[in-house]
Amino acid sequence: MPVGRRDLAWFSPDPRAVLPAGGVHVSRSLRRVLGRFEITTDRQFEEVVRACGDPARPHGWIDERIVAAYTTLHRLGWAHSVEVWRDGALAGGLYGVAIGAFFAAESKFHHVRDASKVAVVAAARIVGSVEGSLFDVQWSTPHLASLGVVDVPRRRYLDDLRTACGSPGPDWTEPLGATD
């Protein structure tokens, strides 16, 4: 994350918030809206990052340096996006960095209610489709906890991280239908 005008910082919270493989919680109300959206991956990466960096959002940290850095990572195959569409328009999404079976979600957004939740569900299903996966969301929030996010101590996180980074990752090019 940017700190000041010239520096970047890496944060390592303890405990760390993760979404366990197979642990995504889809509430009854969320289940009802899943089919109203179309899900794609890596089709509009830069647009997703820019939407996450909307300056009108509180506590915005995504500036042009971050957009450029993550877009480069995406071109190199290290960063991915999940796009959520409604009626042909980008309704929400998320992006993050993947190393093997590890995915660090960096940010998410929504223009349509529940679209960011749908993006988390879709990403969790992609990441959790492989053995030894780790879906990192950094810090827990009530919103993320409602989706199944839990806090893990740093020592366990680092062990899980080592395993995930050394494991084969999911196929981000798999076409996705409704997230049923």
pLDDT digits 0-9 by tens, 107-148: 999 999 999 999 999 999 999 999 999 999 998 999 899 999
Question: Rounded CA gap, 34 and 84, in Å?
Answer: 10
pLDDT of residue 10: 66
pLDDT digits 0-9 by tens, 2-53: 566 666 666 778 999 999 988 999 999 999 999 999 999 999 999 999 999 9
Q: Is the pLDDT of residue 62 over 60?
A: yes
> Is the bond preceding 15 in cis, omega lying within 30 degrees of 0?
yes
- Cα separations (Å) of 47 from 89, 97, 125, 150? 12, 16, 22, 29
What's the whole-number mean pLDDT along residues 71-80? 97
The answer to whether 95 and 72 have CB atoms below 8 angstroms apart is no
pLDDT of residue 125: 93
Q: Is the pLDDT of residue 167 over 90?
A: yes
SS3 content of the chain, % helix, strand, coil (to 5): 30, 25, 40
- Who wins on pLDDT, 177 or 36? 36
User: At 172, is the secondary structure helix, strand, or coil?
Assistant: coil
Question: Rounded CA gap, 33 and 48, in Å?
Answer: 21
Amino acid, res. 62: I
Q: What is the pTM of this model?
A: 0.90
CA-closest candidate to residue 177, choices 37, 63, 31, 5:
37
- Who wins on pLDDT, 81 or 13? 81
Q: Which CATH code is given to the segment(s) 14-165?
A: 3.40.630.70
What's the whole-number mean pLDDT along residues 160-169? 96
Cα dihedral across residues 98, 103, 104, 110: positive or negative: positive
pLDDT of residue 173: 86
What's the whole-number mean pLDDT along residues 68-86? 97
pLDDT confidence band for 178 (50 / 70 / 90)? very low
pLDDT of residue 134: 97
The answer to whether 2 and 66 have CB atoms below 8 angstroms apart is yes
pLDDT of residue 12: 79
Can you list the alpha helix ranges (DSSP code H) found in 36-131?
A: 45-52, 64-75, 115-127
What's the whole-number mean pLDDT along residues 86-113? 97
